[in-house]
Amino acid sequence: MAKAVGPYIKVKVMKLEKKTLGGIYLPENAVEAQTNAAMFGEVLELGPHAYQYVNGGYKPWCAVGDTIYFSPYEGQALPSRKTDDHYIRMILCESVRGIVEDDDYVLDERQQLENQKRATA
């Protein structure tokens, strides 16, 4: 199991579904590409030096259990050996762009596209 070290944060990023809301099955490489571009995840662990050198002792702006927003393709993704439904990604503490307080806000890109298509139809 990977442990967050230094200024890194261990984040759980959910894999996208292989089947779209419209019933179309996506190839594995498309699911992988979209998962790698994911921008939301749950904080599992903060490294011992996360935020220490960034803000001179201020309180960290995320905590274990928070759903955070970060840049696409950020950090190093490691497939989980225990389950196929998520990845573990290590990101720098500076990469956190925000905390998501309303989980309804977190929609994968396919859901957003499906909603847009329905709205314009």
- Give the 3-state DSSP-derived string for 11-37, with helices as H, strands as E and coil as C: EEEECCCCECCCCCECCHHHHHHHHHC
Q: What angle do CA 32, 37, 43 make, to 5 degrees?
A: 100
Q: Identify the domain containing residue 54 by its residue range.
A: 8-120
Is residue 1 one of the residues assigned to a domain? no
What confidence tens digit (pLDDT) does each residue in 17-72 have? 777 778 888 888 887 777 777 788 899 999 988 877 555 666 778 899 998 988 88
β-strands 67-70, 76-79 pairing: unpaired
If one counts the domains in the chain, the total is 1
pTM of the full predicted structure? Answer: 0.70
Please check the confidence at residue 7 and state whether its pLDDT lies above 80.
yes
What confidence tens digit (pLDDT) does each residue in 66-116 have? 989 888 888 887 866 655 677 888 999 888 988 888 765 555 555 655 655
Q: How far is CA 25 from the centre of its chain?
A: 22
Is residue 2 one of the residues assigned to a domain? no
